[in-house]
Amino acid sequence: MKAHKVIFTNDAILWRRALVKWMSENQLRVGALVRCNDASYYHASGYMHPSDENYVPPLGLIMNSMCSSLTHYHGIMNSHEWLSGSSMFSFERIGAGDESLYRRNIGIALPCIPGIVPRYGKGWYGAEPVDRMGRISNVDWEVVSPGQADFSNSTFLSLKVLKQTVKEHFKAPNETTERGFYTFCDFQRTQLQEYLNGETESSEMVDPEVPGSNT
């Protein structure tokens, strides 16, 4: 477990730094105006769904810190976190009325980002191909207006916070068996490091190859 914790920590640092760099390049900063095109939300006396004829995608400002529990497991195809749809940020919907805070808030999940969050996998049992975009909601969103301050100094990159995340990840009753331990392949690590070094542009990054069904 000691060896696994070291690998987990190093991969998590690499992935978080790459994610924050991607956010800065895409102007996803504090105060950014975001539109989520596939979020269902409460409006007036009922819920609005993307399939509704009169659906209007919700808008809101990103004013909170990024979820500190996100780890590189969200960037590894076929891990449980990869398809969890955990919220990356949340915003209060512009135009919301007197609904409860729960109904006013919209959570946005990690989008599919080539090289950082793969889009395709092979499912839990290595059978049919899985498209992450078609399996989770609140993942299709865009920055409408850029924010002012990036998240490079946020707690998301704090080693103290990461240490606590590692502790929570490995403590009982979480699965601590070797079969539940995921790591980046060498290709992913190298590409992420080259991206951070400026040797590779985000537009040049690609997802790792989806393994065959017998892998």
Asked whether residue 42 is domain-assigned, the answer is yes
Q: What is the enclosing helix (H) or strand (E) of 7?
A: helix 2-25
Look up residue 134 and give its DSSP letter: G
Residue 78 corresponds to which amino acid? N
Residue 193 inside a domain? The answer is yes
Query: Residues 122-156, buried b or exposed e (16+ Cβ, 10 A)?
Result: beeeeeeebebeeebbbbbbebeeebeebbeebeb
For residue 185, tell me if it sits in a domain. Answer: yes
Q: How far apart are CA 46 and CA 37, in angstroms?
A: 18
Torsion angle defined by CA atoms of residues 171, 12, 130 and 62, in that order, rounded to the nearest 10 degrees: 100
User: How far apart are the C-alpha atoms of 9 and 141, rounded to whole Å?
Assistant: 29
Structural domain that includes position 194 = 2-204
Domain count across the chain: 1
The pLDDT tens digits along the chain (215 residues) read 889 999 999 999 999 999 999 999 999 999 999 999 999 998 877 889 999 998 999 999 999 888 888 899 999 988 888 988 888 999 999 988 777 777 899 999 999 999 999 999 876 665 678 899 988 999 999 999 999 888 877 788 888 989 999 998 888 777 667 778 899 999 999 999 999 999 999 999 999 988 765 54
Answer whether residue 6 is part of any domain. yes
Is 190 within a domain? yes
Q: Please give the Cα distance from 55 to 215 (Å, whole number).
A: 42
DSSP letter, residue 196: H
